[in-house]
Structure 1
């Protein structure tokens, strides 16, 4: 069995040491360890081209926070490889494996005692190119002083003409990211739907909206300049129309059998802690 590692981009000595400790545990369990070229350079060893690594391994491992896992899920999408997130970050909505428990988890993993969650991915058609978003697609105003009009149509009918600072189109997984801070709903991550949440809308009647995943959505910004942002990590100048639909295949995340999404919400969002 082969595992391909990607580290978070801000590597310090503690993360470097943690990687080598985890690498040793993987190898003791009979799992070959590969690391992508960029991560390898950060810790002073040789690595492998990311795409070649994705082709060569049985699963991918991220060592970092949720942002690292999101980036890998998007970049590795076409290879359809499951991803194991080891949490060396802060929040840990997605990366639920604690480094201290990795040996215990691998023993169960090798016996098949784990689960793979399938998470909806957004496919974006933009300037004759297909992009993929694991968390969200954001259309944001480009100029601080001006709001934007965004026309939104679906394959069934015209939906709305939003006016404000922008619009978030989120997956259920991404509902606890930018969508949540903009006032959108938390949606169970294994459902399939689009969550449309306006950013600082000019009218208070513009509320978050949940659409079924079979809808195809077309968006166009009138006049003003705007930015298209994928997962908060890739930014493009918004020109012309973009088309959004559910991607053909889901992202696959490896989790402990014991993982409970509502426990994660209670822990990370401090639910039930009110006095």
Structure 2
């Protein structure tokens, strides 16, 4: 038998919180990004010169080489005021899942392409970092999802996501059939490439590409977006954040899987259930520049702005 998720408090919006001057920061990086190790060393040196303690899961010497830290894994970040993530959106998504239970404020420094979740660009980095020292920032909470994979009545996998949970077909060009339930009530049977269950944060990711709406992160909701549905009439559906979604893979020979944030996946078998619900933990993003969400939408997704230079 699977465990029913705790629904938690009901609220339809998330308000930002004021920051405080930082005394201890952590740094994680994507080593595959060019120049990330050198940049991490420069940022560490800058903070140390300001009297701020810096913790990293690896030590980076002046020559750019790595050495194991005295404290390994997530424990190194216990009690820090801010965790800086050097990389792109994918790096931030991974880190958010890994430290979700620690409630750490996360500050993204964009070394990727889109950088929609990241707050700082390289050309404005040090003026923005100075604001951490004086508490001139706020913390924006983002809801997360949890998912349980149930095989023959037993929970066989537990997953967390910031953007989305996706049940999708395998590599062959064949559609899958999914029964969808909301709060144990039958909703629909979907035939297509899959189904995206997204948070407001994830509404600008895969769901957007599949025709879903853009949702402000200040709103709490769950977004169901079909992927290439085999029908003339199919629309995304928005439901309350307290509701629970169950997706059942119909017993056919088609391969399918469940993935979170496009990064971690788990193979599904005929009759498997995937139960998705709002997580009790949240991702806390540091916001320094006071940039409005829809300004970021316009700038990052290149929406046309008529009448403005």
Q: Normalized against structure 2, the TM-score is what?
A: 0.82
1:124-155 deviation line (CA, Å, top 9, x unaligned): 12243432100001111014231111111111
Q: In the aligned structure 1, how far is the partner of 2:46 from the partner of 2:299?
A: 28
Q: In the aligned structure 1, how far is the partner of 2:132 from the partner of 2:26?
A: 16
1:18-60 deviation line (CA, Å, top 9, x unaligned): 22221122212222222224x969x522244222123253321
Give the match for residue 146 of structure 2: 123
2:30–2:86 Cα contact (<8 Å) kept: yes
Question: Which has more radius of gyration?
Answer: 2
Q: In the aligned structure 2, how far is the partner of 1:190 from the partner of 1:46?
A: 41
1:63-107 deviation line (CA, Å, top 9, x unaligned): 011111111001111111110111111111110212333322232
RMSD over aligned Cα atoms: 2.0
> What are the ranges of 5 or more consecutive residues in structure 1 without an aligned counterpart?
none
2:184–2:246 Cα contact (<8 Å) kept: no
Q: In the aligned structure 1, how far is the partner of 2:297 from the partner of 2:131?
A: 25
- Please state whether the residue corresponding to 2:229 is helix, strand or coil: coil
Give the match for residue 27 of structure 2: 5
Q: Quick check: 1:235 aligned with 2:265?
A: yes
Give the match for residue 195 of structure 1: 223
**Which of the numbers 153, 163, 166 marks the counterpart of 2:181?**
153
Q: In the aligned structure 2, how far is the partner of 1:107 from the partner of 1:270?
A: 29
Q: In the aligned structure 1, how far is the partner of 2:273 from the partner of 2:99?
A: 26
Give the match for residue 61 of structure 1: 84
Give the match for residue 254 of structure 1: 286
Q: How many residues align?
A: 272
Give the match for residue 214 of structure 1: 242
Kindly report structure 1 stretches of 4+ aligned residues shifted beyond 3 Å: none
Q: Normalized against structure 1, the TM-score is what?
A: 0.92
1:219-264 deviation line (CA, Å, top 9, x unaligned): 1111232111110000110241111110112110001152211111
Give the match for residue 46 of structure 1: 67
Q: In the aligned structure 2, how far is the partner of 1:178 from the partner of 1:32?
A: 38
- Please state whether the residue corresponding to 1:150 is helix, strand or coil: strand
- Please state whether the residue corresponding to 1:248 is helix, strand or coil: strand
1:120–1:190 Cα contact (<8 Å) kept: no
Map 1:176-195 → 2, pairs under 5 A: 176-195=204-223
> What are the ranges of 5 or more consecutive residues in structure 2 without an aligned counterpart?
1-22
Q: In the aligned structure 2, how far is the partner of 1:19 from the partner of 1:221?
A: 44
